[in-house]
Amino acid sequence: SQTIHQWPATLVQPVGSPLSLECTVEGTSNPNLYWYRQAAGRGLQLLFYSVGIGQISSEVPQNLSASRPQDRQFILSSKKLLLSDSGFYLCAWSEWSSSREDIQYFGAGTRLSVL
Amino acid sequence: GQNIDQPTEMTATEGAIVQINCTYQTSGFNGLFWYQQHAGEAPTFLSYNVLDGLEEKGRFSSFLSRSKGYSYLLLKELQMKDSASYLCAVSPPGGYNKLIFGAGTRLAVHP
């Protein structure tokens, strides 16, 4: 069966520090991968998605970047964190498809506080 | 663009039935998803509609009317553990299975 791992679970970082959040998926090949952010009491906002190694699409302009160095590894990064980067970051995966709709499965999330 | 509207909060009694509505205005539409999210946890998949009509999965059912841009999630025989946020999400055209989420409806189930 497929599993998704995301770490760390919580993170407190000072303004201006770098960020690296990691997500890995097991039990599937060539998944679609997604990074979302959820502000307190708000819905999920899609930040990045990837349909293959090295292929990253950004949905919103921001202080963050994403990379996919391996098939089942998705990394969210920042060179200098802002206060507004605080939130609940969620990684998700779905079966690869360029058109067919399929269920997204979420990791446990990382709660980031930038102080 | 896409706009998804859900009520912010709802309350219901244990054992009752509750209907959570979702309306959407999108420039195109491939399917509609419902997710459950307990406080501080990740969303978990509940149901998916691509055609008009009702999809039933145990105590949960979801309905879709594409012509009206309307969906609802029906929860029967409510239990305390159903207290959570319920997120409506639409899949816009363009592929790659992207989802646009509504802000969610926070449901509180009381004894």
- Look at residue A12 in the predicted model and tell me its pLDDT: 97
pLDDT of amino acid A2: 86
Q: Do A108 and B100 touch (CB under 8 A)?
A: no
B60, B64, B68, B73 alpha-carbon torsion, rounded to 10°: 10
Closest chain A residue to the Cα of B94, Cα to Cα = A99
Q: Select the residue of A43, A98, A108 nearest B96 (Cβ to Cβ).
A: A98
Furthest CA-CA distance within chain A: 41
Q: How far off is chain A from B96, nearest CA to CA, in Å? A: 5
Query: What confidence category does residue A60 fall into, taking pLDDT thresholds of 50, 70 and 90?
Result: confident
Give the confidence band of A97 by pLDDT, cuts at 50, 70, 90.
low
Residue A103: its pLDDT value, please? 87
Min Cα–Cα distance to chain B from A16, Å? 26
Residues from chain B contacting residue A106 (CB–CB below 8 Å) = 42-44
Please give the single-letter amino acid code of residue B29. Answer: F
Partner residue facing B43 (CB), from A94, A102, A106 = A106
Q: What is the Cα–Cα distance from A49 to A51, expressed in whole angstroms?
A: 7
Q: How many CB pairs under 8 A join A and B?
A: 61
Q: What is the mean pLDDT of each run of 10 residues along chain B (111 residues)?
A: 88 98 84 93 93 93 93 97 96 79 96 95
* pLDDT exceeds 70 at position A101: no
Is B99's Cβ below 8 Å from some Cβ in A? yes
Q: What is the pLDDT of residue B23?
A: 96
Side chain identity, residue A42: R
Q: Chain A partners of B57 at a C-beta cutoff of 8 Å?
A: none
